[in-house]
Amino acid sequence: MTEEYFSKFRDHIIGVDQTFETPFGKQTILYADWIASGRMYGPIEDRVRKEILPFVGNTHTETTVTGTAMTKAYHHAKHYIKEQVNANEQDVLVFCGSGMTGAINKMQRILGLKVPDRIRDYSSQFNIEDGSGHRLISCEDVNRPIVFITHMEHHSNHTSWLETIVDLEIIQATETGRVDLDHFEELLKRYKDRKFKIASVTACSNVTGLETPYHEIAKLAHTYDGVCFVDFACSGP
């Protein structure tokens, strides 16, 4: 039933039956990297080509037909996306354009946590510890943000934090591979005096498909005056 339902969508994926030559003859591409990059969907690409691309121009101006078209399309897209994720006028939508990696990096920069690459040229001045990766600038522990991630994170939500000014803790897994909420609360208690506490977790493992109890994680984070960010790269909200 599920296969039959989705077949109409599968049939319109560009390149779904694409072949290529190998030493063993002609083979059909078997694409298994959907988490990293989705493939082009024919009806969407056709609509973009016919209705959007002929009017491509700079946004935020309505002195030309192209500027007007792009500005209206941009605002329509923001409104539609907000509607789909149940956001309201008080919620901010920020386009990234380069997947989870771009989203997490932009968030870190907005929060002022990202350390610019050039700052390493002044490591002695800023007391940057060689080889530690995550403790790049010296400051009092109480002022250093603490970030909690799970054992199921994509590299974007793990290694990128090592290049910020935060301390990083990984929430342990249970015997069944789930997120150990008791351990998370232990960590929250341990770092209760930190002024800025962040839980940055995936909604779903892109390897096993196990879902993260992000509602419970958010509730615990809020209880200890923290915030929670959730990566929905491989799970619809």
Residues 19-51 have pLDDT tens digits of 999 999 999 999 988 877 889 999 999 999 999
Residue 166: which pLDDT band, with cuts at 50, 70 and 90? very high
Among residues 156, 195, 189, the alpha carbon closest in space to that of 36 is found at 156
Q: What whole-number percentage of the chain has pLDDT above 90?
A: 66
pLDDT in tens, 133-156: 444 556 677 789 999 999 999 888
Residue-level pLDDT at 97: 75
146-149 vs 197-202, strand pairing mode: parallel
Residue 3: which pLDDT band, with cuts at 50, 70 and 90? confident
The yes-or-no verdict on residue 161 having pLDDT over 80 is: yes
Give 99 or 58, the one with higher predicted confidence. Answer: 58
Q: What's the CATH number for 99-231? A: 3.40.640.10
pLDDT in tens, 65-80: 999 999 999 999 999 9
- 10 Å CB burial of residue 183 (0-12, 13-18, 19+) is middle
The yes-or-no verdict on residue 1 having pLDDT over 50 is: yes
Q: How far apart are CA 195 and CA 175, in angstroms?
A: 32
Largest CA distance in the chain: 64
Residue 120: which pLDDT band, with cuts at 50, 70 and 90? low
Q: Per DSSP, what are the bridge partners of residue 179?
A: 173
- Domain residue spans of the chain: 1-80, 99-231
The mean pLDDT value for 77-106 works out to 90
pLDDT in tens, 184-231: 999 999 999 999 999 999 999 988 889 999 999 999 999 999 999 999
Q: What is the DSSP letter of 34?
A: T
The yes-or-no verdict on residue 174 having pLDDT over 70 is: yes
Helices (H), the chain: 2-10, 42-47, 65-84, 99-110, 123-126, 181-190, 214-223
Round the average pLDDT of the chain to a whole number and report it: 88
Cβ atoms within 10 Å, residue 131: 5
